[in-house]
Amino acid sequence: MLINRRELLKKTALGTASLALTPSFTHLAAANSKRSDSETPHRFIFVRKSNGNLPSQFGLPSFSSEELKKHKEKEAFELDLSKHELPDWLKGLDEHKANMTILHGISMCVSGGGHYSYSGCMGAFKAGRNVLSNIKRATIDFELAKLFPSPFGHVEMSLAVPHGREIRTGIVSGYSAPAPQQRNYCYADPMTAYNELFKSVNDPGAVVSDNALLDYLREKESGRLNGLNGGEYRKIQSQVDSLQSIRNRNTKVTALGNKINQHLPKIDPVHAGGGQNATLPQKQAAFTDVIIAALAAGLTNVVTYTIDDLGTKIASLPENKEKTSIHAVGHGGGDPDGRAAYMRNAIKTHHMRQVHTLITKLKSIPEGNGTLFDNTTIIYMPETGAGHHGPDNEAPMVLLSGVNSKLDLAGRYIRLPFHGTEGHKTLSNWYTTLLNAYGNPIEHYGDLDLTMERNRLKQKGAIDQFMRAS
């Protein structure tokens, strides 16, 4: 669903569109924190990929025979990554190995959803078929954004195209969620993200116009409060507060003008009008540049980036000689030579090129006594578990963290106990770990795993071996 920005403002204020997009703005007012404005924030970049991550492709070619046996039998073990060779698709990050952890053994059964997990993989719940009522809680990216407030709070970008659909452009409904039964919006093409995030310097007149509209709508909605009480009063007051939050955000963004200009990316004209003729690598590269600029300029501290989906066109990848699709690759076919595994590696290789760019450029931007990357964590994760239709009992991830990380995620290859066994950790445990490390010491985030419950195994709490001693 394409949404015009000015119409979005009007609909948000006037309570139409079933409040489907209201949380995009109301979360701004809710992002409270006890952190000092002078404290350096930590940044998080979630890179979501489709089609799962095959565990076999996360094994290291330098495994000993004993290590290979443990890997194949899904036994828990840990290695020093500096002493090992990376898989071919990961070798583009070899120079960043000291900042890397390959994490094996996390399960996603709490969010598994077949082709898609929708909001589920970010919120550790089963979202079903894109149904708002199934969204149980604010997703992890929004929870982290509360801990590290910024003008835009959380920013979502997506190259996701539902299977069988055409290309998506503009501002569309996203997968993250600011609250139960509410869905975020996201930028579906690089030019839209560029225009919206950086318009305070690229199109200041649009900001003036938006502010005038916001002031008008806020005054109009405030006038409706007279004589109201109870639930209706709270509803209208919430809308007034949301409008004021957007207005405040615009003021903060305008004040960052010099910093935004310093880091403003260059977007190829091929992306104009939604980038109908842009190749997938071109789109991914442009989104990467926008993400770096948004973080460096201080517009946001948390980005969720859906780097591809089952319907994303991969015909432009040079390795895709048969012009197969992600969906066909997921089913193990789509090409005459059965090269599905090859194409999976090729797709991840292209993903890692973007991750390499993210890390390299973030390492080049000074911050404090170090660099912007020193205060950044990148999480490369599958939307579903190990494959196209599951299983969800494994969801291998690649984690990359700077030296100021609150978690011990540097130079490690970690295989956790397999799903349903003592010591196993779920996606919920992983997100609990992130929140505990960065300032929200909750007992447990996300749903509980039914298999773990049946086996009467402990499953609440953070993953202790990742936590640094305070």
Q: What is the CATH number of the domain that holds 163?
A: 3.40.720
CA–CA gap between residue 90 and residue 352 (Å, rounded): 7
Q: Which are the contacts of 211, defined by CB distance < 8 A and separation ≥ 6?
A: 247, 250
CA–CA gap between residue 108 and residue 45 (Å, rounded): 19
In a domain, 112, yes or no: yes
Name the pLDDT band for 36 (thresholds 50, 70, 90).
low
Number of domains in the chain: 1
With CA atoms as reference, report the closest residue to 280 among 326, 242, 228.
Answer: 326
In a domain, 299, yes or no: yes
Q: What is the pLDDT of residue 243?
A: 85
CA–CA gap between residue 348 and residue 352 (Å, rounded): 6
Q: What is the pLDDT of residue 285?
A: 96
In a domain, 227, yes or no: no
In a domain, 20, yes or no: no
Between these two residues, 388 and 149, which has the higher pLDDT value?
Answer: 149
Task: Give the angle 71-72-76 at the CA atoms, nearest 5°.
Answer: 40
- Structural domain range at position 276: 31-35+44-198+265-466
In a domain, 339, yes or no: yes
- Give, for 48, the enclosing helix (H) or strand (E): strand 43-49
Name the pLDDT band for 1 (thresholds 50, 70, 90).
very low
Each residue of 298-323: pLDDT tens digit? 999 999 999 998 888 898 999 998 88
Name the pLDDT band for 165 (thresholds 50, 70, 90).
low
pTM for this model (two decimals): 0.91
Name the pLDDT band for 38 (thresholds 50, 70, 90).
low
What rounded mean pLDDT belongs to the chain? 88
Q: What percent of the chain has pLDDT over 90?
A: 65
In a domain, 21, yes or no: no
In a domain, 23, yes or no: no
Lowest mean pLDDT among 11-20, 181-190, 326-335: 11-20
With CA atoms as reference, report the closest residue to 290 among 255, 270, 264, 312.
Answer: 264
Task: Answer yes or no: are the C-beta atoms of 142 and 462 closer than 8 Å.
Answer: no
Is a pLDDT exceeding 90 seen at residue 45? yes
Span 452-468, average pLDDT: 94
- Torsion angles phi and psi, residue 64, rounded to 5: -75, 170
Q: Which are the contacts of 116, defined by CB distance < 8 A and separation ≥ 6?
A: 129, 130, 309, 310, 383, 384
Span 133-146, average pLDDT: 96
CA–CA gap between residue 234 and residue 237 (Å, rounded): 5
Q: What is the pLDDT of residue 112?
A: 82
Beta bridge partners of 172: 186
- Torsion angles phi and psi, residue 24, rounded to 5: -55, -30
